[in-house]
Structure 1
């Protein structure tokens, strides 16, 4: 019986595609692990400029794992998503499938799960006028975080807080290198207007600020419904600035295996309850869960509680080395079924 064939798709230019060197870049260890497991893995370097060429390549393999952000080099992934749907319909296993990304990997999921044990106060805002009407009242209850529908790397995520005894707002963008600013509501609305355009999803999500963000962010890496490792970032993009000082730069994310003692309670909750609750709420069967995805959690105000910040599905990289054996085993089992 022939070894199952697999493509690892990730963005690159024509020169990178011509080389198609598995040892070049961030997935070298993963290619090695697939080879050791007798899975014939090959690079599928992607760009819209040679999308048809990539599509022909994907039709010749049994499956494809995809790493591609919602926006790469200023381009949305619409052409790629259409391509992936086409090859999936032709019988190629695709992970993450674009439909699964839309159910899990946008900020809409925060509203979908707001009443679940890991949810929080989160609402959908469908227009600038609605934001102008409702945000001032919500700010009376504390700071809010406004998030564009779909993005990455903190782009389009804004912390907003009312200045005491002032009409001004303290505003900070989560994109790396951003500083806190004082803006009027009108100025804030002008900043956020592009996110309400159809090409950006035509809406935003408004989530309550979580004060315990100062205790760090925990990222749980999953292979389907099993926790494969953790990442912990003590200082993240919206870490508050000490009085009279600039906010500290985000620190590194430290990677840990799934058996790290301090996160065993979270691991148990995810594997026995939360992933099932999540997928049932958004309408995904277990078999439709991504092969590799992650959930970012903030510490909740109740001891031992966690609040979902976002789910990453489109391009989960880097990831803990501990995720590789579980990922390789799950992919091989799926391709061999």
Structure 2
């Protein structure tokens, strides 16, 4: 490896021992390390935890670019310390992906509301206060049937609920059946007021709740469209069981999802979706959110459910989430594309170690 090769730090969460023992090969990102090295870059591990955040900051201020894989919620820990740290690094001119400001634009559930006019959108509502949520939810359930409610930031199905009326309101009370998308969740019948109270914490720290109609084709599976910048680098199709109710009489144990089957970007069943993502929807996303294409994450994904067939009987697609903070697992085709995109970004930005050390380049 040339000593002048740009240094790329790969950040993931771990404890002190994980940081001490981390190498380019003893973690799940080893293929990404290999591919970055293959294009002439010098990747290195940068395990993060709040306990030694200053140490991580010192390391990141010595590299040329940073790639981050840290969930917004992880065993009670958030990115409240990490995100300001990454902003400091970016302000010195180092390339950070995904930058926290980009995450706040496209990696939150609010993006479903902001982009509902794009071809992937549906009847999507946004509640910014608990009072607004309390006033609107019952009429929405009565008029439109089952809804899916999503807290603005989260992962692993946390704070995503299917909600439907059990019976018409009577005697001042309303019962609903709710099911969280978190693994292992089972349906629960609860008073609507109690459920709304349970969700009020989602509005803390300027949070919000996004409200979408439940998609009846959910049992047909979810398509995860993996993107590197503005190019599709693969697909994953999974028969998910989150928010799928068990048939009556089939027991009460949580349903288990099927495996996610990975496909290359050339996979024939997904070419319509690929064309829409590359030629229509991603450019519209950038325009709507005022994001420059050079600020798109090095790796991100858009999760789609099947919508109702169109008039010609063709599949339609409904966006249910964009993942930016920590996209993994990924298709086999993705690591070399990540490396290609990383090298391209550095070249476009004319980034080299000397310019970085002087803080000559700034980037979102």
Q: Give the Cα–Cα distance (whole angstroms) in 2 for the partners of residues 254 and 104 of structure 1.
A: 25
* Cα contact 2:187–2:245 (8 A) shared by 1: no
* Cα contact 1:69–1:314 (8 A) shared by 2: yes
* Cα contact 1:4–1:332 (8 A) shared by 2: no
Tell me how far 1:289 sits from its aligned partner: 0.6
Q: Give the Cα–Cα distance (whole angstroms) in 1 for the partners of residues 137 and 168 of structure 2.
A: 17
Out of 163, 168, 172, the residue aligned to residue 166 of structure 2 is 163
Task: Give the TM-score of the pair, scaled to structure 2.
Answer: 0.89
Structure with greater contact order relative to length (CA < 8 Å, sep ≥ 6): 2
What is the RMSD of the two structures over their aligned residues, measured on CA atoms? 1.4
Q: Give the Cα–Cα distance (whole angstroms) in 2 for the partners of residues 91 and 285 of structure 1.
A: 16
Tell me how far 1:165 sits from its aligned partner: 4.3
Unaligned runs of 5+ in 1: none
Q: Which residue of 2 aligns with 1:150?
A: 153
**Is the aligned partner of 1:239 residue 2:244?**
yes
Q: Give the Cα–Cα distance (whole angstroms) in 1 for the partners of residues 175 and 74 of structure 2.
A: 35
Equivalent position SS for 1:75: coil
* Cα contact 2:8–2:41 (8 A) shared by 1: yes
Segments of 4+ in structure 1 off by > 6 A?
Answer: none
Q: Which residue of 1 aligns with 2:259?
A: 252
Equivalent position SS for 2:157: coil
Out of 34, 42, 45, the residue aligned to residue 44 of structure 2 is 42
**Is the aligned partner of 1:278 residue 2:280?**
no
Larger Cα Rg: Structure 1 or Structure 2?
Answer: 2
* Cα contact 1:107–1:150 (8 A) shared by 2: yes
Task: Give the TM-score of the pair, scaled to structure 1.
Answer: 0.96
* Cα contact 1:214–1:239 (8 A) shared by 2: yes
**Is the aligned partner of 1:225 residue 2:227?**
no
Q: Give the Cα–Cα distance (whole angstroms) in 2 for the partners of residues 229 and 168 of structure 1.
A: 42
Q: Which residue of 2 aligns with 1:211?
A: 216
Q: Which residue of 1 aligns with 2:201?
A: 194
Equivalent position SS for 1:211: coil
Out of 296, 313, 318, the residue aligned to residue 307 of structure 1 is 318
Encode CA deviations 1:221-254: one digit per residue, 9 max, x unaligned: 0000000000111123112322333452222212
Encode CA deviations 1:121-146: one digit per residue, 9 max, x unaligned: 11111222222211111112110011
Equivalent position SS for 1:299: strand
